[in-house]
Amino acid sequence: MARPRETFNKKELQKTRAKKKKDKEQKKEERKAVSGKGKTLEDMFAYVDAYGNLVATPPDPRHRVEIKVEDIQISPTKKEDIDPATLIRKGTVTFFNDSKGYGFIRDHDSQESIFVHINDVEGQIKEKDKVSFETERGVKGLNAVRVKLTV
């Protein structure tokens, strides 16, 4: 019987597999050497200093700060009620297409461009009109609602 031929490609594949296996064993040995097994509990402690950095030495007990239990807040802070008058914004219509029924308003305070649809307009508006409006979060961003023409 003829013996099987070892082609160049087969030899290269065997070499790369052996190299990968050797590298894997080497990494395994490195992880074992670096791992925390065999350390004492004291060696595994980490402390936080006054600046928020992790350090290996314990803090000085003379600089200890007492915290009252009553001062700890677990729940989020309560939001103040929003005044409805602050929700009304003013702006200028920069673009409005009557045939398609949409446009954009430039807010006077933030200078951002806000989308407006004809269904949210009370009355008729055209470009360069001064308007007052409120905003709502839409699918693609802020939308102007309850748009009114101002004098």
Mean pLDDT of all residues in 26-39: 82
| Model pLDDT, residue 81 | 65
Do residues 145 and 88 both lie within one domain?
yes
Verdict on whether the full-model pTM lies above 0.85: no
**Does residue 72 lie within any of the structural domains?**
no
In a domain, 65, yes or no: no
Please state, in angstroms and rounded to a whole number, the distance separating the CA atoms of residues 2 and 44: 63
- Average pLDDT for 81-100: 83
Note the pLDDT of residue 39.
72
Say if 139 falls within a structural domain: yes
pLDDT reading at 92 higher than 90: yes
Q: How many domains does the chain have?
A: 2
**Nearest alpha-carbon partner for 131 in 104, 113, 116, 151:** 151
Are 105 and 145 within one domain? yes
Residue 4 lies in a domain: no
Q: Would residue 30 count as lying in a domain? A: yes
Mean pLDDT value of segment 21-25:
97
Domain range for 48: 10-59
In a domain, 100, yes or no: yes
Separation in Å, CA 66 to CA 48, 57, 116: 16, 20, 55
Residue 38 confidence class, pLDDT cut points 50, 70, 90? low
Residue 51, pLDDT above cutoff 90: no
